[in-house]
């Protein structure tokens, strides 16, 4: 690791220790002992700053609390891991985490009616309104991950034995959200190009009515699935669902926060997004938005009363269990939001970079793109059975040769050992980085005797 990265981390930790002195002191100021401790830490920080300036020194801190390794992959490398690319924090989110990391930190100024989305300082209430507007939906709530958004919807809408129609390429958490409420799933098959079409949804809806006597209670589909990141006919599927009066849940785990999403235009009754996957937010975080038609059901407030005490719980929402992201997660999400709102307008450029890389990879003889091509997303599944896998067959490191070569060039996130089908994301990489990435694959190919046609 470059020593400056190590020393920046040590400097941050040292600042935390300085801060801790104040957290232990009396409000009136530091004692003599505390001043001494503060001075010692400050001298340490000055040493670290000198090391950063001169690129000197040795790693002194390698663990947190004795056992937790430092994580510096985003500083040291280009990370192409598909689920991590768009969840990388903005500097603002990291700053928010440092000052709002304490437990229930957003509750400092929580006033009646005591609900997360009503807090005005920090401006959580405003953020909730902005989120709904961002998605062009009527209401929005933050949830601990997209999966908790599915869960809130299935818990509100699905009764035991009810059917939910979902994409055969859907995420496992969609299936489990149905299982948890004892529902049944029926799948909409993808076609031979791995696309889920509105026609297929129509057929399956009709089959459901024919075979169970009634339509499903919910239809859900990913706009771009996690396997190939192919685009599915969500607008058409929503339309078909509405013909049967069935609500449509738009799964935007791979879209909300990276590309423009207009819930009304899509015909979505619910829009679910993932904060840690696509909104530059810490895990767990996400968003569930609903239109007015269904908001009352999914955001239903408590009516229960204690039988002895008669206790009631105001306007707490049942599916949210009252409040959801009560601290650093919410505030970091809020801190990234201005960047997120702006970056979705630059989606075309991200798609260009994705196609640029895939074109260069396809220039390595024997390589193929499993995802639909040209690409409409930054995430792609590629097939290098005819290129890098032929090298792996005789290489002493087998499939690991490719990850070794990539790591050596400061590229991480490719599934270690995989040389047949594997996924990557170019999301958020600058053009310089994308070119570096493409050059690296060319170099590795040439070094191993593969033909590279530019």
Ligand X SMILES: *Cc1c(COP(=O)(O)O)cnc(C)c1O
Q: Restricting to residues 64-83, which ones interact with ligand X according to CB under 6 A?
A: none
Euclidean distance between CA atoms 72 and 2, whole angstroms: 11
Contact letters for ligand X, residues 168-207 (x by CB under 6 A): ---x-x----------------------------------
Strand order in the sheet with 421-425: 368-369, 379-383, 421-425
Q: In the numeric block, which tokens belong to residue 36?
A: 């001494």
Residue with tokens 């470059």: 2
DSSP letter assigned to residue 89 = P
Residue 6, Cβ neighbours under 10 Å: how many? 23
Confirm or reject binding of residue 255 to ligand X (CB under 6 A). no
Task: Indicate which single residue of 147, 375, 381, 423 sits in contact with ligand X (rule: CB under 6 A).
Answer: 147
Which residues have a Cβ under 8 Å from the Cβ of 432 and sit 6 or more positions away?
Answer: none
Does residue 254 belong to the site contacting ligand X (CB under 6 A)? yes
Contact window for ligand X (CB under 6 A) among 91-99, 211-219, 273-281, 300-308: 273-281
Near ligand X by CB under 6 A, which window of 43-51, 96-104, 247-255, 310-318? 247-255
Q: Enter the tokens of residue 65.
A: 């609390």
145 is a site residue for ligand X (CB under 6 A): yes
CA–CA distance, 435 with 428 (Å, rounded to integer): 13
Q: Which is nearer to ligand X, 87 or 183 (CB)?
A: 87
Going through 238-332 in order, the beta strands assigned E by DSSP cover: 248-251, 270-274, 286-290
Select from 100, 134, 226, 294 the one that contacts ligand X (CB under 6 A). Answer: 226
Distance (Å) of CA 310 to CA 112, 113, 305, 313, 322: 20, 19, 5, 10, 18
Please list, in sequence order, all residues whose beta carbon lies within 8 angstroms of the beta carbon of residue 106, skipping any fewer than 6 positions away: 100, 116, 119, 122, 124, 326, 327, 330, 331
231 binds ligand X (CB under 6 A): no
Kindly tell me which of 88 and 409 has the beta carbon lying closer to ligand X: 88
Give yes or no for a cis peptide into 113 (omega within 30° of 0): yes
Q: Which stretch binds ligand X (CB under 6 A): 14-22, 88-96, 142-150, 367-375?
A: 142-150
Least distance to ligand X, CB of residue 427, Å? 13
Q: Does position 279 bind ligand X by CB under 6 A?
A: no
Select the span of 64-72, 211-219, 249-257, 446-454 touching ligand X (CB under 6 A). 249-257
Q: Does 427 bind ligand X (CB under 6 A)?
A: no
Q: Is 277 in the site for ligand X (CB under 6 A)?
A: yes
How many binding residues for ligand X (CB under 6 A)? 15
Which residues sit at the interface with ligand X, rule CB under 6 A?
145-147, 171, 173, 222, 225-226, 251, 253-254, 274, 276-277, 286
């Amino acid at each position: 690791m470059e020593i400056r990265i190590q020393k920046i981390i040590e400097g941050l930790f040292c600042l935390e220790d300085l801060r801790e002195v104040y957290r232990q002191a009396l409000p009136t100021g530091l004692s003599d002992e505390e001043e001494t401790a503060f001075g010692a830490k400050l001298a340490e920080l000055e040493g670290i700053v000198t090391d950063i300036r001169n690129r000197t020194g040795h790693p002194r801190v390698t663990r947190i609390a004795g056992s937790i390794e430092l994580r510096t992959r985003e500083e040291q490398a280009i990370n192409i891991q598909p689920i991590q690319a768009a969840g990388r924090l903005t500097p603002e989110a990291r700053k928010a985490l440092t000052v709002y990391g304490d437990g229930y930190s957003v509750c400092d100024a929580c006033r009646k009616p005591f609900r997360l989305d009503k807090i005005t300082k920090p401006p959580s209430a405003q953020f909730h309104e902005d989120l709904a507007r961002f998605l062009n939906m009527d209401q929005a709530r933050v949830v601990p991950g997209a999966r908790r958004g599915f869960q809130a919807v299935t818990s509100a809408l699905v009764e035991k034995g009810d059917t939910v129609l979902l994409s055969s390429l859907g995420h496992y958490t969609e299936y489990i959200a149905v299982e948890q409420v004892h529902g049944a799933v029926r799948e909409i098959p993808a076609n031979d190009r791995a696309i889920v079409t509105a026609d297929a949804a129509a057929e399956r809806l009709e089959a459901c009515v024919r075979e169970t006597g009634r339509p499903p209670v919910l239809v859900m589909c990913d706009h771009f699935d996690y396997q190939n990141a192919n685009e599915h006919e969500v607008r058409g599927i929503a339309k078909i669902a509405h013909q049967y009066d069935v609500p449509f849940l738009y799964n935007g785990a791979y879209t909300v926060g990276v590309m423009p999403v207009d819930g009304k235009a899509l015909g979505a009754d619910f829009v679910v997004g993932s904060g840690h996957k696509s909104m530059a937010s810490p895990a767990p975080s996400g968003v569930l938005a609903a239109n007015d038609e269904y908001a009352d059901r999914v955001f239903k407030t408590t009516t229960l009363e204690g039988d002895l005490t008669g206790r009631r719980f105001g306007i707490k929402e049942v599916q949210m269990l009252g409040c959801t992201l009560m601290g650093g997660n919410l505030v970091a999400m809020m801190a990234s939001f201005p960047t997120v709102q702006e970056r979705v307008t630059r989606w075309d450029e991200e798609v260009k970079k994705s196609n640029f890389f895939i074109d260069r990879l396809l220039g390595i003889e024997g390589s193929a793109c499993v995802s639909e091509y040209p690409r409409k997303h930054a995430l792609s599944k590629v097939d290098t059975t005819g290129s890098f896998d032929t090298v792996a067959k005789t290489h002493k490191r087998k499939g690991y040769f490719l990850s070794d070569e990539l790591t050596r060039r400061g590229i991480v996130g490719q599934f270690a050992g995989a040389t047949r089908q594997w996924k990557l994301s170019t999301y958020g990489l600058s053009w310089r980085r994308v070119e570096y990435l493409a050059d690296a694959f060319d170099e590795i190919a040439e070094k191993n005797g593969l033909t590279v046609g530019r």
